Amino acid sequence: MPLAPTDEMVRAAQRRRSGVGAFNVVQIEHAEAIVAGAEAAGLPVILQISENTARYHGALEPIGLASLAMARAAGVPVAVHLDHAESTDLVREAVELGFTSVMFDAAKLPYDENLATTREITSFCHGSGVRVEAELGEVGGKDGAHAPGVRTDPGEAREFVAATGVDALAVAVGSSHTMLTRDAVLDFALIAQLSEAVPVPLVLHGSSGVSDADLAQAVQAGMTKVNISTHLNKIFTQAVRDHLDGHAGVADPRKYLGPARAAVTAEVARLLRVLNGA
């Protein structure tokens, strides 16, 4: 199946009031598991590669090209997205490689600088048919706009989208990145207000910390793209631990990475069904 345009996938979900799962690729097994999970569920999915992951691999190209190849060979629509890129050079590289969307994260900059830089990047990406996601909110350490207690203002969000021309907006509604427990408290009333104020699809970052029931409710309230990374990494790592605990003499990494990949496949399929009300 051809590589799926992110914008078409997310806009269609927005119209249906359903969610699109966007799962982070750390290594090739993650990409394989995410695609296999989407195929098992019969639902579209977004493969995400973060700037941190590109740095881990030494470059974006190897893991990016592998993910693009898997997306093109998938039996369901799969898009490939650059996540949390602060480097404009990395954004340009993603566009050249053929990514279908990028998230340019200028949330650490003052509002006016965030707006101006995001507008410039959006203009560049649109020239190549690549869609842009941005983040708006107060900076608070690694959590960025999603630090506890920080919220996105609907009026400011409306103005930001209109001024920058971005295609999706990550908003702060109570979730936080890298949570190891699923007990984040979302502000569903704010999600609904933001959905009314902003014409583009809303994105929930830090969704690993959100329960199944609250993920489903967030989608019904107006959230569309749902990013999940840490939750899958926990499952992947636990499967590796379990296998090594029971097979102390194993040396072939395929013996323990295989079960980890299978565990993530099953969870991706399950989460996609949750986001689609199945």
Please say whether the beta carbons of 24 and 31 come within 8 A: no
Query: Cα 23 vs. chain centroid, distance in angstroms?
Result: 5
pLDDT at 181: 65
Cβ within 8 Å of residue 57, ≥6 positions away: 63
Q: Is 264 helix (H, G, I), strand (E, B) or coil?
A: helix
Q: Cβ–Cβ contacts within 10 Å for residue 141, how many?
A: 8
Catalytic residue among 7, 83, 167, 187: 83
Q: What's at 156, amino acid-wise?
A: E
pLDDT at 206: 82
Strands 78-85 and 45-50: what pairing? parallel
pLDDT tens for each residue of the chain, 278 residues long? 789 999 999 999 999 999 999 999 999 999 999 999 999 999 999 999 999 999 999 999 999 999 999 999 999 999 999 999 999 999 999 999 999 999 999 878 888 898 999 999 999 999 999 999 998 864 233 455 555 557 888 999 999 999 999 999 999 887 666 666 666 768 899 999 999 999 999 999 888 878 999 999 999 999 999 999 999 999 999 999 999 999 989 999 999 999 999 999 999 999 999 999 87
- Cα(66)–Cα(137) distance, rounded to whole angstroms? 33
Q: Which domains are delineated in the chain?
A: 6-275 (3.20.20.70)
Alpha helices for the chain (secondary structure H):
6-16, 28-41, 51-57, 61-73, 88-97, 111-126, 154-164, 188-197, 212-221, 230-246, 253-275
Q: What token pair was written down for 131?
A: 């869609």
Q: What token pair was written down for 137?
A: 């909110």
pLDDT at 180: 62
How far, CA to CA in Å, does 191 sit from each of 174, 195, 199?
10, 6, 13
Q: Cβ–Cβ contacts within 10 Å for residue 253, how many?
A: 11
Give residue for tokens 């793209």.
225
Please say whether the beta carbons of 110 and 132 come within 8 A: no
What dihedral angle (degrees, nearest 10) is formed by the CA atoms of 181, 198, 194, 50?
10
Whole-model pTM: value is: 0.93
- Residue 83 annotated among the catalytic residues of the structure: yes
- Cα(271)–Cα(91) distance, rounded to whole angstroms? 28
Tell me the HSE value of 24 on the side-chain side, using a 13 A CA sphere: 24
